[in-house]
Amino acid sequence: MANAQAFVSELLAPADIQLNGNRPWDMQLRDASFLGDVLARGNLALGEAYMAGDWDCEQLDVFFCRLLANRVQDQVRTSRLIWHYLKNRVINLQSPQRSWLVGQHHYDLGNTLYQSMLDPHMVYTCGYWQTAQSLEQAQIDKLELVCKKLQLQPGMRILDIGCGWGSFMKYAAEHYGVECVGVTVSKEQVKLGQQLCEGLPIEFRLQDYRQLNESFDAIVSLGMFEHVGHKNYRSYMKVVANCLKPSGLFLLHTIGRNRDVRGTDPWIAKYIFPNGELPCLSHIDDASRDLLCAEDVHNLGADYDPTLMAWHDNFERSWPQLSEHYDTTFYRMWRYYLLSCAGAFRARDLQVWQWVFSKPNLIGGYRRP
């Protein structure tokens, strides 16, 4: 244990993180016996130890930003995670049968949790903070930006793949006079979404995207592509190309990686988003090639940091009420999820891209609004 502690201290030094130091981003060890496991299992062991209360950190977001900005994780050989990486390469973890798991495991955790954490519009994707001073305004600005990029007009019929609680569809229907069809794999999202969008020309479907086979004037997908998986990227783009009218536009909003690494973080995969996978730019380009024309790519990655920090603030503020439904382990898990992700975006280890695609024959091209 002493050797592991000394080695971890050495690893953390370039990031200016200390064990039992006095800065808010330093690790406070309650039981140092987990450190050896971290050297074998990386963030999976680190996250599990935090959930168990074996260590604490006042500013987890700063801790992870420093860790990732200095590439500390590259110095750890996680030998016991070989099966995790092989499984992501060999097995289709996002098959039609498996696609419902993330809905059950994550999005069906309870609408009260998400209503407490998110903005009033229930947008569970990165906000747009160019001029916004609040989470609510950042999400309104993002929804408006997406509508403008899609060049929505009254009477259009729009498909939303991974529609969540219907935040985009509700905004587009109310402000642009369109009708929408949204698909999701979450029963809880359909239940609440139908209530929130009552009276509007909006249809919710509990449906896998691969079952879609009809025409739409425009297609949008905000924060769903992370659940598609590399074995299904091409199939996904074929569905979009088949459903998009010749003059239509498709906007894809997704978290992405800087490098071509298959699978996702093992802790995130086990506790937050089962079977998830983050694409890199080349994955999206390869999957869409000769089906769609990439008209525009916009990086909003830095804007996810303030979005996640705002969600965390809301979560902490609501915890006294939420604690009646969730235990301390869940609290530590959710805090670790939100703040580690905020640190990753702050360090630019993760990105958010908005791609706008057209059919290859769009005469005159496209201009970003």
Asked if residues 51 and 330 have their Cβ atoms less than 8 Å apart, the reply is no
Crossing angle of helices 60-69 and 304-322, in 10° steps, is 150
The residues that are catalytic are 341
Q: What's the one-letter identity of residue 252?
A: L
Q: Which two tokens stand for residue 168?
A: 């985009």
Sequence-distant (6+) residues with CB within 8 A of 97 are none
Q: Which two tokens stand for residue 246?
A: 């010749």
Asked if residues 204 and 182 have their Cβ atoms less than 8 Å apart, the reply is yes
CB pairs under 8 A, 24+ apart, for 200-205? 200/169, 200/170, 200/173, 200/174, 201/173, 202/166, 202/169, 202/170, 202/173, 204/163, 204/166, 205/181
Asked if residues 244 and 353 have their Cβ atoms less than 8 Å apart, the reply is no
Q: Which two tokens stand for residue 206?
A: 């509990």
Sequence-distant (6+) residues with CB within 8 A of 204 are 163, 166, 182, 184, 189, 190, 193, 194, 197
Please, how many CA atoms are within 13 Å of residue 185, restricted to the half-sphere of its CB?
21
Asked if residues 138 and 132 have their Cβ atoms less than 8 Å apart, the reply is yes
